[in-house]
Every structure is written in C-alpha cells, then in structure tokens.
Homo-oligomer: A and B are copies of this chain.
Amino acid sequence: MTAIFDSLSEPIARRVTAGLAKIALVLRSRAWKGAGAAGVTPTQGQALGLLRDAPDGIGLRAIAKLLGVTPPTASDAVNTLVAKGLVTKAPGADRRSINLVLTPRGETLADQTREWPSFLADAVDTLDPVEQAALLRALVKVIRSLQQAGDVPLQRMCLTCTFFRPNVHHDAAAPHHCAYVDAPFGDRHLRLACPEHAPASVEEQERAWQAFAPLRTPPGADAHAAGRSD
C-alpha cells in the first residue's frame, strides 16, 4: 500500500545516512566557529578531549587511530598543542614511545571544548525520552556494526564490555544489568565511553549481542511493529 513510496524513494538506509551526514556537517562547521574563541582547532580540540578521558596519557599512535587520521597528521596536531603549552610529551614505557598528558591549562581548555557540541545536545533534548532512548539504542547498534566492519576502533561501550548482561530483567524500563556496579539499567543508560569498561571476549560479545539485538516488543505491540516494517 505504500509501495509507491518504497519504489520512488531512496532506500531508508540512504536517507538515514544522509541525515547523519548533515549532522556531521554541522558539527564540523560549529567546531570551526568555536575554534577561534578557544584558540584551538577542531582536531586539536578533539585530541584534548581524548586525553581528558585518558588520565594516564596515551601514545601518538593511539591518538591517531582514535582521531581517524594518519600518524603524521596526529603528530602535527600534538606538536601544535605542545607549542601552545596544553600538552606535554612524557617518555613512555618504551624509549621510542611517548606519553601525552594534559597540562593544567590543557585540562581547563579540554573541559571547554567539551561544550562545543552542546547545541546538538540541546536539539536532542527536545525529543521525547522514549525517542531519545530509541535513538541511543540505534546509534549503539550502528556503531557496533561499524566496529565489526573495522571502520572504527574499539569503543568502550556496554555491548563489548564483560560486565554487560543484556535483557536479564523483566522490568521493561531496566532490562539490562551491569555486573560492575551490580545494578539494572535500561536502553537510555547505555554508554559509549564507560570508564569502567573491560573488553569482553569475542564469544561473550557475540552472546551479549544475540541477547541485546532483538527488539523486545510485548505481544500487544507486535502486530504494530510487523505492520510498520516492509
């Protein structure tokens, strides 16, 4: 009955991708606007953010991988940050490797660059809580898929965490369980960058995925969901 649209339109995955690309565009654009004010450029700001999450410091290689750029590019950005007095290069475990750590000023600035995408957070906040949870869940799944395909480095998210127990409770609001804090939680609490994350084995991950992935719709909603798909 909606065959007209299914045949006329681009596939939904394309349109979703286009939407994500539009948002990506705005994020980049806004980052540049905020750049002048803070005295750091988008890439530099993102590097600061990464270092903020890694108090012990990390190597250049890791930064490059997380930023999605080549080592030379990361080296450029880091050197600029060092010149600006926001980061210091400490010797690493190896005598060839370096350990990047934020200076106090760097920490302050990192907290500011964190605020860059707040305009987007405001937009997300206008959504209904149910929609927010669905959006987060969908993003988590997409990112997992990207990770599986090797398009993205390993993320510290629940889905790959050894403490994650998906869909073990009957409470629809909080069906999952975190064995680290030993507490139940729901889709809306899913994390993408958990400090306590501990990588699960491949088998564990696969099991967690199987338990997490399917949509848990109660009998009443089932017909609806089925009718909506195509």
Which segment of A25-33, A102-110, A198-206 sits at the interface? Answer: A25-33
Are A149 and B123 in touch, CB under 8 angstroms? yes
A168 at the interface (CB under 8 A from B): no
Residues on B with C-beta less than 8 A from A12 are 124, 129, 132-133, 136, 188-189
A228–B151 alpha-carbon span in the complex (Å): 31
Tell me the nearest residue of chain B to A185, going by C-beta.
B5
Residues on B with C-beta less than 8 A from A46 are 25
A218 at the interface (CB under 8 A from B): yes
Residues on B with C-beta less than 8 A from A149 are 119, 122-123
Number of copies: 2
Report A10 CB to chain B, min CB distance, Å.
Answer: 8
Are B19 and A174 in touch, CB under 8 angstroms? no
A83 at the interface (CB under 8 A from B): no
Residues on B with C-beta less than 8 A from A1 are 171, 173-174, 184
Residues on B with C-beta less than 8 A from A119 are 146, 149, 151
Residues on B with C-beta less than 8 A from A191 are 9, 15
A223–B21 alpha-carbon span in the complex (Å): 34
Residues on B with C-beta less than 8 A from A189 are 2, 5-6, 9, 12
Are A141 and B127 in touch, CB under 8 angstroms? yes
Are B215 and A25 in touch, CB under 8 angstroms? no
Residues on B with C-beta less than 8 A from A23 are 20, 24, 139, 142-143, 146
Q: Using an 8 Å CB-CB cutoff, how does the interface string of A140-169 with B read, 1 for contact, 0 for none? A: 111101100101100100000000000000
B117, B131, B142, B224: the one within 8 Å of A21 (CB): B117
A95 at the interface (CB under 8 A from B): no
Are A140 and B19 in touch, CB under 8 angstroms? yes
